[in-house]
Structure 1
Amino acid sequence: MSDSTTIAQARHQEFGAFLRSRRERLTPASVGLPDGVRRRTPGLRRDEVALLAGVGTTWYTWLEQGRDVRPSPEVLAALARALQLDPAERRHLFLLSDRPVPEPPSTGPERVDEPILRMLESLTGQPAYVLGRRWDVLAWNRAAVALFGDYGRLEGDERNAMHLVFADPEHRRLLVDWAELASASLGMFRADSARYAGDPDFARLVARLMQASPEFRAWWPRHEVLRPFTGHKRIRHPEGGLMLFEYTSFAAVGGTDMKLVVYTPLAEAGTVAKLDALLQRASAGSGIAPARSAAG
């Protein structure tokens, strides 16, 4: 027996055990069914779950037995509703069945939690900021202000990473390898925006960038997409000179599409010392505040 077969069998068994545990915690009354006859085991019967999910009892029994059957995403969603799974349990159900988790797009105002703000503030020697679902800059630290400028002075679409890259001349001049970075950023933004196709805020931003940037206007129709990756970014600061950073992004937890972007100064070009000098100069001259958010 191959390792892949053993792993698949273990996954099926875990999937079945999870279904059974969720079924046994429910009562007929909790799902709107009559109690009926006296029950020998706790929870719902298999046929009751099958009825609620709209599947056959035998087929559902096979699922709990860990047999090699492949429920569709639609059936998994029906099982999640029938078993009254919360978001974490629903995600677990999809992962155990080796199906992509259908995460609904986030909506409404975005707010960066205090723990993330405190973490930003602790990154004293690493420029960092938090991007929202549309790549709006939601929060940033002192080092990011020293390197890129004060995001707090920007309003609306101007405080958006794609707008900064394509439509802000001062920010563009900071990026030594602008064409390469802009193309990669556009591919990652396009991949992230797929879940929000038709969203008016995204559409407004894209329309504005189509007017403001000939490069964006030429590249956007190509529909190129990229996964997030770690890379190097050369910054030519008007006061600090040439600096080299390694940048990466981390998905924020909590069911949001926020991401934390961190720039780590590298030894080349004396970047660490130059960044320290910028921070000291900025603190002495303007009193840059600790980590800030757009809401604050």
Structure 2
Amino acid sequence: MPTGMVISHDKNGFIFITREHLQTWEFVYYRAGDRQILCRVTETEPLSEYPVEFLFDAGIRPADVAEFCGFDADRFEYFRTRGMVIGYFDRNLGEFIHPRMNPASGTVVYRAAGAQLRDINRVSSGETGSASIGTIAGTDFDVVLSVKDVASQHLSVIAATGAGKSYTVGVIVEELLMPHNRAPVLIFDPHGEYTVLEDIANDTRFWKDDYKPRIRIIKPDNIKIRISDLAIPDLISIIDDGTMSDKMRTLFGSACRALRRDNFRQFTRSELRDTIESLRDGSNDSSIEGILW
């Protein structure tokens, strides 16, 4: 059943009129030939607002006042909704194709059904290699990621502060540790946001047969890195407070390379200091002192 009709478009998307108060990020679509072009709602506002005078008495419906005054009450029930084109799913390519154009004025817009979304995402919740992270706003459709796709490439979770980025990552990690996935996970957590995942080990939802996830949290004080395992740029970034000159950097790099001529050579901080000291030649005393300081 049609939901609305496009009235205009611009570089940011298109605008359609509808009587349905659609939520932000709900899915809609329009037809282009035999293709259904999927879109998302980005903004909704009333097409017309009641005059302020109609709103003074909370005990009287503004629609009744409008009708009494001879207004067409229906005009206040429409919404001006902005949409953003996502594209159509090409099953041969396994990805979305953007049509590179917005729908023309007069194009009919339909609300996307759960069946249409399920046809695009055929990963089922609970099966091996799946990660269920919630539902799409306005529907009961599960958002299920392919663990293979998540783990085989870089994944970035981008949102405003407080929008739930850490929570989303936590849900993904929980799904990776579920019995149907049993994936090993390593988390670098500088802000201590994921220590609650330690409770997973005692959560029976994550147990099955002989599988029970083990969670190990290593505190910063227990992490030791040999100075010889750090790359020269990493060492410089640690000791440089912004006053290290190019000459000092060159001397420091020379000392490190001298100690690393043997790839298997492990050296200590004292040995590094001694090697830097040995580079003194009378003309670089101030640079050597600066490095050692």
Whether TM-score is above 0.5 comes out as no
Computing the radius of gyration from Cα coordinates, the structure with the larger value is 2
TM-score tier by shorter-chain length is: under 0.3
| TM-score (norm: length of structure 2) | 0.22
Structure whose residues are more often helix by fraction? 1
